[in-house]
Structure 1
């Protein structure tokens, strides 16, 4: 059995609102990543993917608060609940080396007042004061070559780089400390196709070489996830509704939301030109006042009476987990989503 690199247990994170009512953006999520694998995290905008990544990276700051949950990672068990005043100091020893975040706003994450080489050295020395400048720059140069970027980039300021080069540079900085777990939030969104390919190949190579021992890959791009991930987790309205091996979810979705997501994007396959993309009716709920029962039931074509009154528990079929009343009533049956051909 594959050893677990990371397991988040019953994680809840909320945003403090002006009204005084906390809005739960991540609601009682349990998630596991086996060592040496890449886990894809997918869902519509606003479903809680980025908030979950931020909480797992232990960098939650007001108005975001982690109010419950533990993280088991690399032999450590960490209470993620925000602690008054000293939370950042409590979690600091784990950030960067145990877990690192490649942020969604990567193009704005580089200091405009430092050359890239100075930032690289500062990052590495902040965690290990004995690192020499030469060693830090050598490691950065190796990462740049993996991303097919010239090493002269190290002599630049942020404003001298294009958006795509900034994105790739932040990828380099996020992996400098060889973190056990990298959380990559929309890492390919600002890149052209060739740069996307180089970045994905770098992440795969680093996991294969055990430079990193696992990646959580957050993106809307389901075709990319289906090609590069070992496992998928699908989020809806702050909850994880289905997890399992990527092949199982793509070919045998057990939650209607997963099937609807897969039917709403084009795959680069032979039938792309004849496939009609099916939109998901309605819109995601207000997390300040979510629907009772299954949160997807107002938009679900398979909803039953129980779906609107009782929240489904997570069920398992082998290594495939899902929370759905319809799936419970139809064991091992693929969701029959309609696909229209021209």
Structure 2
């Protein structure tokens, strides 16, 4: 069963030079009980996409498409309707989570403000739950009485995860939550996200990252974005072992490999630079960097076609039936 169904979603930014088409016709679904990964280079639209589901602030605006969450179109909700489901049904651990907590308030006061806004009246019960959740993420109950500035980066990250999941949201968005952490702390965060699902605290997770190696450890399915478009969607293991889109292949080739020395095999980057989304080409948005570019790539946008079981990619090199 799908918890979230996104169809032809377009999220742009207003600028004096015209709209920046950051998310331009993206479709996917997130099923109950799964971790859905979203990956791509910086500027591909992944953070814009997930933040548009939570809160759209100018200059961001909805330019078309739908995002059906539990049957309701998130794009059509009033601010009051959106506020009611924020953190209770749909929540986010923001990209800069370590700086997301109000530095002038203790953790318990931050949590109480959130709980009170959503109708909770018993502060003692809320603080009891807070201390239970802190213990769950291996933090001392004393953290509840501390200010964010008194915590280390890893501790603040876990405290933010507790705040974002305290009201048991159905869908949790984790936006680049491991990007500023060392490898050991990254592992702790990944294990905690799994634990939240195992304990029924959240039903599904959207995990956003630029690191495909991390997705292999957490995501059931993965969507690759490039310049505001879907390049590929597939079960994560299938995508990593059998990538169909040239961009996905190049992303995987750019990852460092264990046991391989630089003098024997140098890292391979993706040639060229991402395109401007103010005036993107009418054809394939990857054609300026693709090693397999053909004439039709410059004029015809490739459709998303089926290349395997639950495996779709948008490239003129591929055959198959359109999605």
Instruction: Give the TM bin, normalised by the shorter chain.
Output: over 0.9
| 1:304 and 1:326 in contact (8 A); partners too | no
SS at match of 2:63: strand
* 2:62 corresponds to 1:66: yes
* 2:124 corresponds to 1:106: no
The residue that corresponds to 2:229 in the other structure is 239
| 2:96 and 2:177 in contact (8 A); partners too | no
Could you tell me how far apart the structure 2 residues matched to 1:80 and 1:243 are? Answer: 23
The residue that corresponds to 1:194 in the other structure is 184
Q: TM-score, normalised by structure 1?
A: 0.88
The two structures, once aligned, show a CA RMSD in angstroms of 1.8
The residue that corresponds to 2:115 in the other structure is 124
* 2:312 corresponds to 1:327: no
The residue that corresponds to 1:307 in the other structure is 297
Q: CA deviation at 1:191?
A: 2.1
| 2:93 and 2:177 in contact (8 A); partners too | yes
The residue that corresponds to 1:37 in the other structure is 34
* CA pair 277-53 structure 1, distance change in 2 beyond 3 A: same
**Match runs of 1:106-255 below 5 Å:** 106-130=97-121, 132-255=122-245
The residue that corresponds to 2:46 in the other structure is 49
Moved over 3 A (4+): 269-276
* CA pair 275-99 structure 1, distance change in 2 beyond 3 A: farther
Q: How many residues align?
A: 319
Q: CA deviation at 1:209?
A: 2.7
94-103 or 154-163, which deviates more:
154-163
Offset from partner CA, 1:286-311 (integer Å, 9 cap, x none): 00011220000110011111111100
The residue that corresponds to 1:278 in the other structure is 268
| 1:147 and 1:195 in contact (8 A); partners too | no
Q: TM-score, normalised by structure 2?
A: 0.93
Could you tell me how far apart the structure 1 residues matched to 2:165 and 2:269 are? Answer: 36
| 1:294 and 1:311 in contact (8 A); partners too | yes
Could you tell me how far apart the structure 1 residues matched to 2:164 and 2:82 are? Answer: 17
Could you tell me how far apart the structure 1 residues matched to 2:190 and 2:255 are? Answer: 20
